[in-house]
Structure 1
């Protein structure tokens, strides 16, 4: 075969390969499967740093992800806390981190007006599992207040909010998360030198999850003592969040996870690859919590996950009076 003909064949084969390997655009007019959705995100090398100023940079329109495509694979509840219901923020890929034979992290940027956010989405076996807000900005970033997120080589995620006071003092709030085998992000460390925020509003990270199971709801103890139960994405489990403060805040415990339903009025949390075990016993509108094995990684040494909590009554909207 003449060398020119061989060259022509090689060029044609390379051209065909380029066409077949081209990533599919995530337009709402396209039919997209989850593997194509994940493949659209470029690879990220760790460690990775993301700042609020990076979210301000305009992303190419060619990379925009259709809202219908996005909601096909990711629940609406992920973006609603930032942008509200019935909104359509512009969505763009940041990148992905694939762990062999395990989960895949997808980082997505969302923009609506002056609001901007970056979320980490976790997929396992091509199925959505969990989401974590990394950076949220509601205005143009300034030098006096910054928000950043870092992902290290062990896939630990650290979010930092830093502000500089008029007198030059630098105050920060740092939260450290890991994704555990139970399919949720767990807060493992909180650190702050901002005294004004230390006694601020207690944030319930599972507050937006559904509450259809009979034992779901918020169970309260003393001030800033809470056990919250929500529906889990795992059948036969309840998602929970615990925060307690004892001895006037000198002893603090906090834990988020999934508890397996063990009976009509009982559930048990067993830490995956760890010693922590907690029993929950429900009776009427109360729940009793008892730490069976060491959960010292999630509390101070002088207090335990224990006590009796009463369910908070659900607020209902007053019925409107009929006009006569």
Structure 2
């Protein structure tokens, strides 16, 4: 989700403030991944690698263990070609990138492109890929979702949504897709049959969906104040994220490996750690924006965990490491 929305209220601990006056937090480590700024990003579930789409049009892959840049990709050759979405597979074997009309599959071992496809019917809104690149799910502006198997050519079109798709995710084995849209609904559905497994209803547009890759939980949130964690097996509510603001938009989310926490990012520099079972906010950080004469913000585009320590990548181009205060 790329729209920058002003958040009216912020919280720090249990204190409600009338404006977003919480000072920037100090990470334990900060690494500049892109001097031009970041347009989209993803962090591997094991924190071994990150992928960023830079404002200059390049897609770059970073080894987070060594700090070295592994690859620089151009989605459609030379020239400025802004890539809206970049996603790693859960096993880090492949990655996908997309602009409005095309998407590509990349091999993470060789850095070579494995396939390139164009969609003419409607703009691409979000994309995700399963282990090994066996399945790709593509959400579109016309409300349709494409599931595609690159190696077999099999295609399945999910038409359960009635309006524009905003976010998609896919299970590690590629058997289930999670999609959310402007029709106030998120669906968990089978990529084998297209059959809906669970429906998650919100009072407003669904703007973020995330599957726990341990197949335990689902996270869905809307454009106002409803953010829910659900049981992936039963479809029942586990918790609702507890905040007092009128509106929080989530631009990134990832469950911790042990399933105890959810880490989220927002358009207004906020990185937040939640307890999965209670929905309580455990701690919060404010990422650093770019310096400049005008008021600056930083969209948090990717979050992750290095063991149990949170990571974030923001539009400022910085990868930041954070410490959880006990």
Q: TM-score, normalised by structure 2?
A: 0.28
Q: TM-score, normalised by structure 1?
A: 0.28
Which protein has the larger Cα radius of gyration, Structure 1 or Structure 2? 1
Indicate the structure with greater strand content. Answer: 2
The higher-RCO structure (CA 8 Å, 6+ apart) is 2
